Structure 1
């Protein structure tokens, strides 16, 4: 669908290539046009509608706005063609609105290059209405008076011929005007030719109207005609004459009725926020022609619904223009992200499918796409759906073919500098400065944008966020972000603009942005996790890309680690196998490894943190962070000696993680079966060492589920007091796991709470704990499908590399088989446990034997140092099985 793309046509000598200006589906925008037009038709047809009512709100305008190159002008042309000729409508579009009479589309390009001034706008509308085949006497008389005053001695017909409007619309208007003036002259009984006495005609008409003469009855219905004819016939008066056009249209007989749809394209060239002279005239046309419908396309939304423009434009505010204001009322403040206005529609990017379709159809040979699928895929990915990027890629494709080789995917993994000039073309110097500054940021608000640009005022940033290439996400920490391809291009393309930045300019802007983000982080309330993560993501990227000192990032990293939530942090670390080169590299890799350990094997975590530790780039406290979490990962892998060495290094250093490292040593003692040492150490740890959770971990292994559950509850409550979400969820998951052995009904409620507390957290091991707890809760129930659920969990635990999860799963299965007294499967579980334990967790097979009432292998005593002795521990675990059997029998 579309005409010939002449630029692409002349880009190659190969006449076998068919070059089409392909139009990709904009069905949603067409539906918006038809819906709005249908509503307008109902309004005009309503009994109370009065074309001369100058106070009623106006809802006769629809705005499409978007970045340069998004396809606004193409959409405007297609809407015009679809309304004028149904056969030119894209196949995806439905039927246009059916109205009494007919729809008359009139498209006017307001681009500076088109040379369209206000006078030509009015003439174009009148020329289009010449298709009615009849004069519009009230308007024609006023227009003729204006013309003779402003263009003395110049023929309107000659002006239209010279300007091209005559060729576009024919020569009917001068003839219709002449006929109208002749009829009016006859009505007021004037002798002679009309052309010689137009001023006299006007004066006679005004006197006749004032005297209410019957001879001008046809014009008397227009209550403001006499006043308009008496006014100075200048450009300002010409804008008011469009009221006469609306009046003439309203009195057309039903069989001749017409609905003008006036499409004003490239509205951004009308003016700016300071110079609104032309915009004021055009707004006056829209207001004074309430029975016409206007479709405006431009880069920015219309501000007419903003009260602040009172005095610059004639009609402003949400009462005057309800469709242009946000649904909540007055237009939202520029620094906030409010709901979208009903009649202001941001034209979105193409989908990936539309991009591929566009590229496939632009260049064809015998109906087959010339651009290969792999090339189209790269262009589509780089374009982020921006049609201008697709057009530039087509031109690059032809240019490469002219060089004598076939283009490949790597040729299009680039940005196009032309996008910069298109984006910057209508921005002020201050706005361009802010735009480059915020291209360093993933998201921002107005104060942050101004601070990053080094400005002491917000005006330029306020203007910039209204531009269509600035997208709004009201749910983000900071609501604004740049269109992805615009941001990428500004940051990476070879910018040849006159005010382009040097490397030093970019470095200074990065330092300003980094400091500004740090200030926002410091001023934020404690516990604002979303802000913390947002600041970290952006600060890490800036520090890494521009070699900045860590500064506030160090404290932010401790806050990130302290909550144990582990949201992913976006900036990638060094390439695989590449050691960090700066402190920022090392911190990015450290935090990235900690976040990713919830999704990858612990072996990978150990390798990544080892590279950080060996680089020596981090300051001592942050180096402790890498050492400590590497030791935790080594413990998860069953490497107790290596883990113990790392924990001792951190504990002996006395830094922030020293209590956590001492807790780690207590864990290692527990894994080795040295429960008295673990219990003794827990008493020295306090909150920082998570003492209550250590106690719970010791007591459940002893079979004392009540005491363990109380310890975990105390741990959860302490975590709540300190607002540490990850610790709270972990303690609750352990409490649910413990109670699942003792009381399935109570465990059900505890599991629900654990799952609620895990919402929004990325804790892989804890989630595995809750699922294993669910198996324990259902142990002994033949219909629970435990074996199938266990197989899935076993695979996930193996992928994670978390040895504790695999052992705990087999322990849960051992409990299930003991309750069922399924000796064969119990023996199989024991075998899997013995294969998994190697030094640490050696007492887990003993626990299964305790449950089943079996002696330990070879009659040996347990190697573990039980708190209350082996026999007491055996009795407790056996009692859990006995109680579960009684529960299942309903006793």
Structure 2
């Protein structure tokens, strides 16, 4: 526990409530501080280290940055406590600088603290007063400055008003007086100290210039005389820390101390335009190379940026090698052990476990958490790991508890205060960009600029440097907003002066949608363009649905999406509170594409139901309505409802639209399933590439046992798909080729199966995946050790509602049993096939099973074969005989 949570304590009359300011483990940040400080100590104790070297690179600063409310101030306070004593979390471990004296000095730079530069310097000196000795070089310069800038004002009273006496005691004024007395005595000056400040410093400068023996100790400070001669103004004061650093370097080894100066809320020092205070503070850091600085703020330090030359004194990657390294999250930075690495660290969100632990310890009674586990779970899920959200939720808990017992639903809540914290230090243009990109899951510089509608990129570029903008270098678009910041800006009541109206949000959505369309059309639909298509569709569908926008380019993108039969997940998350079904064309298109993608993971009956709702809504334009009708017909065919499938396919074929060739292919498949092979074959020969002619021919030829011609047809279909860049069709054709080759050439089928597996990588084609698994069974027919794999495949086929896959599976099992001469098991397979053929489709599969077993048909076949039935029978009998010969099986 780091203290008492006074806000919570003063929010309730319950005196039995314990409100503790919980500190959740930041072990990795501590490890970074410990490693960097250890390296700093090794550097400063090296014989080659020179505190007066003003040109050597500096690596005495470690910067933690992160979004407002992430816990930077709490971390800074905890680091101060841990460095000052052994009071640190057990999991932080022991420091490695045993024997070294560390003096932590935390300085709050927030506007509310009112810390100015003069107070910052005095705070550092007051902290060093605990050494119990004057620091004459600095103290004489400071006394001169004080008399000039604060005539007649007591330094002791100033320190008391600033709270420094309470923190560090009253020793500083006495030490300064002692330093002045020592110098006066060394110079043999008469008069009181109070009236001789000017005379003392003047005489001291002359003595230093003349290198008098009486001031030989101070004479070793090469720049003291120059500082005493300079005008005692604020700019000169900013160089006095050099004297502090020099004095620290003169301490004997047993008195040596390393100040660790923690500068918190650094974002309040200034902005990118006004860097006056930042320049003075940076000068302190540079001039005190033997002190170690831990800076916490919202933004990373830019001191290593050469573009700041002129605004700051010391800039560039040579001056600050550690700050020039890319900003990293803690896990990456933990590995940094050399100088100049890992000194810009992004403070990450709490893990879910840390969030729960934090909430459990914040409010308690009799040692038990006051906030129930169910409520803690909801708050944790909503928080995205942001400690400020946890704090606000605790206060909300206490507020609700005044009138009733809180329930989990009370915390499905956004806090407007998060917006104020996020927007507080942004320019108007940056706030405009932030709201615009909150509409997007991810973005890049170009997309964000177009979505914001600004004529220039500078505000976007500045926003990208903020810690609430996260970067994923491997993403299609590299940037995204912190999840909680995004959701809050989108949904919470915004009481800021420049808040947006509903019309502003809609205009921003229209700009974002148009920008996505521009990016997609510029990229094409192959290679990287396919990834961009899916990404643009996901984001564009969300915008169109949430704001009721016209489809525009989304219609063409939808066609491009279905053309390749890859079926990546496409549906955006459900809109909260949107439970009234399909209301707009965007709603209908979202549901259409979601149903098509999900059909790879749902029973076809679910797909059919969803597509029926879409086509029945009348919300889609004619061409997209046709898409729904076509895929509904395909779902009916998979379910064995050939009549409904034939009706839908005929409607699409007669319409002459984009899917008319595919619908004619569907009619050919339906004719084949009914056993009308001549009609199916005649139709197939008219389809061409658009109707996937070669694959349909292969589907007709292999039931005839004509495996060589079928394999050739599938290879032609595969090669055509490759030429046209249609990955889904290529994988499907190769899987079917693997299946027919598995019947005829088990030794070479491995290569075909392996190639199909490669083609399926990254694709989501459930029926094709089942076909390939069945091909593996066909390859192993006659040697299967058991039928567990077949049972699993049967269950998968039924779960998917794909009747064709189950039928082909039973044909392969009949083949296996026929090879082994297990006629009773062949009859079992026949029975299952007849069950599947009750609708009239797939009846010829039972005939094929009889052919393989050399058994007569119990009744005449209803199939119309392309060739005499005896020819088909002979081919299947030959396949069985060849497999027996291959395996060396001899039946009695």
Range class of TM-score, shorter chain: over 0.9
Corresponding residue number in structure 1 for 2:554: 553
| Cα offset, 1:18, TM superposition | 1.1
1:688 to 690, 709, 720: 690
Corresponding residue number in structure 2 for 1:6: 6
150-159 or 191-200, which deviates more: 191-200
TM-score (norm 1): 0.95
Corresponding residue number in structure 2 for 1:28: 28
1:169-248 equivalent positions in 2, closer than 5 A: 169-248=168-247
600-609 or 826-835, which deviates more: 826-835
**Deviation by residue 1:644-664 (Cα, 9 ceiling, x = unmatched):** 110111111011111111111
| Cα offset, 1:341, TM superposition | 7.3
| Cα offset, 1:398, TM superposition | 0.9
Corresponding residue number in structure 1 for 2:733: 731
CA distance in 1, matches of 2:44, 2:160: 35
CA distance in 2, matches of 1:398, 1:626: 52
Corresponding residue number in structure 1 for 2:700: 698
CA distance in 1, matches of 2:544, 2:162: 58
Q: Unpaired runs of 5+ in structure 2?
A: 329-339
Corresponding residue number in structure 2 for 1:82: 82
Q: Pick closer, same or farther for the CA change 1:27–1:328 going to 2, 3 Å.
A: closer
CA distance in 2, matches of 1:697, 1:305: 66
Corresponding residue number in structure 1 for 2:361: 361
Corresponding residue number in structure 2 for 1:398: 398
| Cα offset, 1:189, TM superposition | 3.0
CA distance in 2, matches of 1:48, 1:714: 75
Query: Any conservation in 2 of the 1:101–1:255 contact (CA below 8 Å)?
Result: no
| Cα offset, 1:684, TM superposition | 1.1
Query: Any conservation in 2 of the 1:83–1:104 contact (CA below 8 Å)?
Result: yes
| Cα offset, 1:197, TM superposition | 2.0
Q: Please say if 1:819 is aligned against 2:803.
A: no
Q: Please say if 1:801 is aligned against 2:767.
A: no
Corresponding residue number in structure 2 for 1:337: none
Query: Any conservation in 2 of the 1:41–1:99 contact (CA below 8 Å)?
Result: no
CA distance in 2, matches of 1:102, 1:119: 26
| Cα offset, 1:92, TM superposition | 2.2
SS in 2 for 1:195: coil
| Cα offset, 1:852, TM superposition | 2.2
CA distance in 1, matches of 2:167, 2:530: 62
SS in 2 for 1:240: coil
Corresponding residue number in structure 2 for 1:649: 651
Corresponding residue number in structure 1 for 2:73: 73
540-549 or 520-529, which deviates more: 520-529
Corresponding residue number in structure 2 for 1:595: 597
| Cα offset, 1:603, TM superposition | 0.5
CA distance in 1, matches of 2:770, 2:712: 22
Corresponding residue number in structure 1 for 2:165: 166
Query: Any conservation in 2 of the 1:573–1:588 contact (CA below 8 Å)?
Result: no
Corresponding residue number in structure 2 for 1:460: 459
1:390-789 equivalent positions in 2, closer than 5 A: 390-403=390-403, 405-527=404-526, 528-572=529-573, 579-783=581-785, 785=786, 787-789=787-789
| Cα offset, 1:509, TM superposition | 1.3
Query: Any conservation in 1 of the 2:571–2:593 contact (CA below 8 Å)?
Result: no
Query: Any conservation in 2 of the 1:573–1:585 contact (CA below 8 Å)?
Result: no
CA distance in 2, matches of 1:806, 1:319: 69
**Deviation by residue 1:591-641 (Cα, 9 ceiling, x = unmatched):** 010011111111111111111111111111000000001111111111111
CA distance in 2, matches of 1:531, 1:247: 59
Corresponding residue number in structure 2 for 1:332: none
SS in 2 for 1:63: strand
| Cα offset, 1:573, TM superposition | 6.3
**Deviation by residue 1:566-609 (Cα, 9 ceiling, x = unmatched):** 11113256899954111111111100100111111111111111
**Deviation by residue 1:763-816 (Cα, 9 ceiling, x = unmatched):** 111111221111222222244x4x111122221111111111111222222222
CA distance in 2, matches of 1:221, 1:806: 93
CA distance in 2, matches of 1:712, 1:652: 28
| Cα offset, 1:710, TM superposition | 1.8
SS in 2 for 1:264: strand
Query: Any conservation in 1 of the 2:327–2:342 contact (CA below 8 Å)?
Result: no
Query: Any conservation in 1 of the 2:327–2:346 contact (CA below 8 Å)?
Result: no
Q: Pick closer, same or farther for the CA change 1:578–1:631 going to 2, 3 Å.
A: farther
CA distance in 2, matches of 1:514, 1:382: 27
| Cα offset, 1:293, TM superposition | 1.1
CA distance in 2, matches of 1:720, 1:7: 66
CA distance in 2, matches of 1:355, 1:718: 55
CA distance in 1, matches of 2:97, 2:207: 40
> Root-mean-square deviation (CA), in Å?
1.9
CA distance in 1, matches of 2:525, 2:571: 22
Query: Any conservation in 2 of the 1:712–1:732 contact (CA below 8 Å)?
Result: yes
| Cα offset, 1:217, TM superposition | 2.2
1:33-432 equivalent positions in 2, closer than 5 A: 33-86=33-86, 88-326=87-325, 342-403=342-403, 405-432=404-431
| Cα offset, 1:835, TM superposition | 1.6
CA distance in 2, matches of 1:576, 1:296: 45
CA distance in 2, matches of 1:779, 1:254: 84
Q: Pick closer, same or farther for the CA change 1:822–1:50 going to 2, 3 Å.
A: farther
Query: Any conservation in 1 of the 2:327–2:344 contact (CA below 8 Å)?
Result: no
| Cα offset, 1:669, TM superposition | 1.4
Query: Any conservation in 1 of the 2:67–2:467 contact (CA below 8 Å)?
Result: yes
SS in 1 for 2:295: strand
CA distance in 1, matches of 2:580, 2:400: 35
CA distance in 1, matches of 2:317, 2:226: 29
TM-score (norm 2): 0.95
Query: Any conservation in 1 of the 2:325–2:344 contact (CA below 8 Å)?
Result: no
| Cα offset, 1:174, TM superposition | 1.4
Q: Pick closer, same or farther for the CA change 1:416–1:822 going to 2, 3 Å.
A: same
CA distance in 1, matches of 2:224, 2:723: 77
Query: Any conservation in 2 of the 1:101–1:254 contact (CA below 8 Å)?
Result: no
| Cα offset, 1:200, TM superposition | 2.4
**Deviation by residue 1:66-92 (Cα, 9 ceiling, x = unmatched):** 111111100110111111111x21232
CA distance in 2, matches of 1:693, 1:396: 63
Q: Pick closer, same or farther for the CA change 1:178–1:576 going to 2, 3 Å.
A: closer
